[in-house]
Structure 1
Amino acid sequence: MNYPYIIIDDNQESVLKTKAIADGFSELVFVASANNYADGLNLILEHSPKLIFLEIDPADTASNLSLALINELYRYLKVIPKIIITTSKKDLAFEAIQYEVADYIIKPVQKIDLIKSILKIKKSIGEDDGFIAQNQVAHQETKVEQPKIPVDVQKPIEEEILILNENDQELLEEHLQTPVDVQETLEEEILILNENDQELLDDQLQTTSDDTTEDDVVALDETQELLEGQIPETYIQQSKPNVEQPLVLCIKSYGDYRYIDASDICYFQADNNSTDIHLNNGEMVTAFKTLKHFEGVLPYPFARIHNSYIVNRNYISRIHTGNAVCYIKNTTTKLPFSKSYKENVDLIISEFANGNYLEI
């Protein structure tokens, strides 16, 4: 099986090194490479590769490369390609695992590391293929071909079956013909039994009419249902439909767990090694994580527009490209955006235009 692949890395030298090692595998087919977030996303959507080599901690921050690219793929693709992270640090390995990447390779990429990654991918795909093939064989084995009967033998067999059916019919009719006197006797016995059952039920109801309990009433009702030949109805509890839960951020600090609905967050502001989270009610919460950390884990509709700001696009009321600022709804706050993140701002503008939108 061939694996068309794309390399996304801000360092062109690293791209060439990865490609040189990958060229040694006949099943790997190079498609293209990109050095930034936007070009990489466009290449993936255009070529639909089976494998992606992705740098998530670039030296050039303007490339905007991070795990957020994987989140973006879920917006457009039903089947996400196998993604191998290639980076120089181990710090983001745990976060990468949460994104279900195929492998995490530390630079410089070695041939043996790539061999292991390809073998793991082959094994996972091979197990699925083997399971499908096994099911197909089992399904074929259950189909037993009926033996074909020659025409000259088939006709006598059909005649014998017809004779047997006629004999069976006569025998059945003999059993069904019950003498009239026996039939009347059976009807009288059935009537007597029904009357006795009714009298028994009436006696039970009379003896419990004065000091009956709820349990006794239930028991009598069940007895009456059984005598009448009724089966109590069984009610099946309907399962609740699966509803996607809204994202909740937990800000943890020394045993203090603060839960924040992501929909209430207007924007994030960097403050050295911590980040200030501004809410729609005017409150501010400090988290001891860097803004880069939040950029890597936050899904849509959050987008980074500046080295110091990540904004929730649902709270943007105005974008002034001339002054390079975004306005926050129901406030006087203006957030600047930089040239390095201008592509994210352009994407926000295009998303507004794709919705229920009227430009005047």
Structure 2
Amino acid sequence: MNYSYIIIDDDPESVLKTKAITANFSELHFIAEAYNYADALNLIIEHSPKLIFIEIDPVHKKSKLSLNLIDTLYRYLTVIPKIIITTSKKDLAYEAIQYEVTDYLIKPLKKIDFKKLILKLKKIHWDDEIFIIQSPHHEENSISTLSIETSHKKKNHILCIKSYGDHRYIDSKDICYLQADNNSTDIHLNNGEVVTAFKTLKHFEAVLSTPFVRIHNSFIINRNYIARIHTGNSVCYIKNTTIKLPFSKSYKKNIDFIISDFSNENYIEV
């Protein structure tokens, strides 16, 4: 398995050191480098790399390099590259984990770090091949962890919420919407039941595709349960309920996509 990658770091010397180490691994294929936020975003959108090595504590603050770049990627990309943090600061690790990064490497980087990374990536790829996606991080003090089983031949996913030996299976077609609650997510079902999973909403955005669409920092909606969209009031109404979910300006493009998607179906406008 080969992995194309982009290096994002405002320190040219650090970029050269990273490239020197990655050159030892035939699995890693260098695409480009970026020294600031804007260039990094453009390169990622243009080349769609599988990996991103990023410094989140830059030497020059004008570069605007930070974890916020990951948030921006979710606005534009359906599939987010694997994010590998490369920094000298250990105290940013907890915050990075909340962004579901694949790895956190401490500078000065070592060859063994990349060997471990490649082994981890191959394991993730193998898990995908047997149709199981496992959460790469275990969250301490949580009462459950989440795994998602998905067959590439099926449109629907089965979510398995695990808690102390209890396995709760949820068919994705029964989910009306998902709501963020700090570092957990409330899953609202079509029968009115709410199930809590101890993963962030960002995690669900990464693993759930259409008909699930992010419309707000706090909400992902199943477009199949939308009864009405009011663009003036910036709200979506859920079928057969009085529930209305707000959508934000930053996700307006996703709302436009939903409206366009409806118009492509058996649709009559009156």
Shorter-chain TM-score: what band? 0.5 to 0.7
For residue 315 of structure 1, report the CA deviation from its aligned partner.
1.4
Give the one of 65, 68, 82 matched to 1:60: 68
For residue 28 of structure 1, report the CA deviation from its aligned partner.
3.9
The within-5 A match list for 1:1-360 is 6=6, 15-17=9-11, 21=15, 28-30=30-32, 35=37, 40=41, 47-48=46-47, 52-53=51-52, 59-60=67-68, 63-65=71-73, 69=77, 72-73=78-79, 83=81, 85-87=83-85, 89=93, 92=97, 104-106=103-105, 110=108, 112=110, 116=114, 244=154, 246-359=156-269
Query: Would you say the 8 A contact 1:267–1:278 is kept in 2?
Result: yes
Query: Would you say the 8 A contact 1:270–1:308 is kept in 2?
Result: yes
For residue 54 of structure 1, report the CA deviation from its aligned partner.
6.2
For residue 61 of structure 1, report the CA deviation from its aligned partner.
8.1
CA separation of 1:266/1:32 partners in 2, compared to 1, >3 Å: closer, same or farther?
A: same
1:289-308 per-position Cα deviation (integer Å, ceiling 9, x unaligned): 33334334333322222222
For residue 328 of structure 1, report the CA deviation from its aligned partner.
1.2
Query: Would you say the 8 A contact 1:269–1:277 is kept in 2?
Result: yes
Query: Would you say the 8 A contact 1:19–1:30 is kept in 2?
Result: no
The residue type equivalent to 2:15 in the other structure is I
Task: Tell me the distance in 1 between the aligned counterparts of 2:202 and 2:69.
Answer: 10
TM-score by length of 1: 0.44
The 3-state SS of whatever aligns with 2:93 is coil
Task: Tell me the distance in 1 between the aligned counterparts of 2:113 and 2:162.
Answer: 40
Greater share of strand residues, 1 or 2? 2
Query: Would you say the 8 A contact 2:234–2:247 is kept in 1?
Result: yes
Query: Would you say the 8 A contact 2:184–2:196 is kept in 1?
Result: yes
Q: How many residues align?
A: 209
Query: Would you say the 8 A contact 1:62–1:340 is kept in 2?
Result: no
For residue 105 of structure 1, report the CA deviation from its aligned partner.
4.7
Unpaired runs of 5+ residues, structure 1, are 8-13, 75-82, 98-103, 125-241
The 3-state SS of whatever aligns with 1:16 is coil
Task: Tell me the distance in 2 between the aligned counterparts of 1:273 and 1:297.
Answer: 16
1:197-241 per-position Cα deviation (integer Å, ceiling 9, x unaligned): xxxxxxxxxxxxxxxxxxxxxxxxxxxxxxxxxxxxxxxxxxxxx
Query: Would you say the 8 A contact 2:10–2:36 is kept in 1?
Result: no
CA separation of 1:333/1:344 partners in 2, compared to 1, >3 Å: closer, same or farther?
A: same
For residue 43 of structure 1, report the CA deviation from its aligned partner.
5.7
For residue 262 of structure 1, report the CA deviation from its aligned partner.
0.6
For residue 270 of structure 1, report the CA deviation from its aligned partner.
2.6
The 3-state SS of whatever aligns with 1:305 is strand
Task: Tell me the distance in 1 between the aligned counterparts of 2:154 and 2:267.
Answer: 26
TM-score by length of 2: 0.56
Task: Tell me the distance in 2 between the aligned counterparts of 1:349 and 1:54.
Answer: 36
The 3-state SS of whatever aligns with 2:161 is strand
Query: Would you say the 8 A contact 2:9–2:15 is kept in 1?
Result: no
1:164-192 per-position Cα deviation (integer Å, ceiling 9, x unaligned): xxxxxxxxxxxxxxxxxxxxxxxxxxxxx
1:91-116 per-position Cα deviation (integer Å, ceiling 9, x unaligned): 759x666xxxxxx45366x5646994
Query: Would you say the 8 A contact 1:21–1:111 is kept in 2?
Result: no
Query: Would you say the 8 A contact 1:62–1:341 is kept in 2?
Result: no
Unpaired runs of 5+ residues, structure 2, are 24-28, 57-65, 86-91, 123-151
CA separation of 1:272/1:16 partners in 2, compared to 1, >3 Å: closer, same or farther?
A: closer
For residue 267 of structure 1, report the CA deviation from its aligned partner.
0.5
Greater share of helix residues, 1 or 2? 1
Query: Would you say the 8 A contact 2:177–2:189 is kept in 1?
Result: yes
The residue type equivalent to 2:32 in the other structure is F
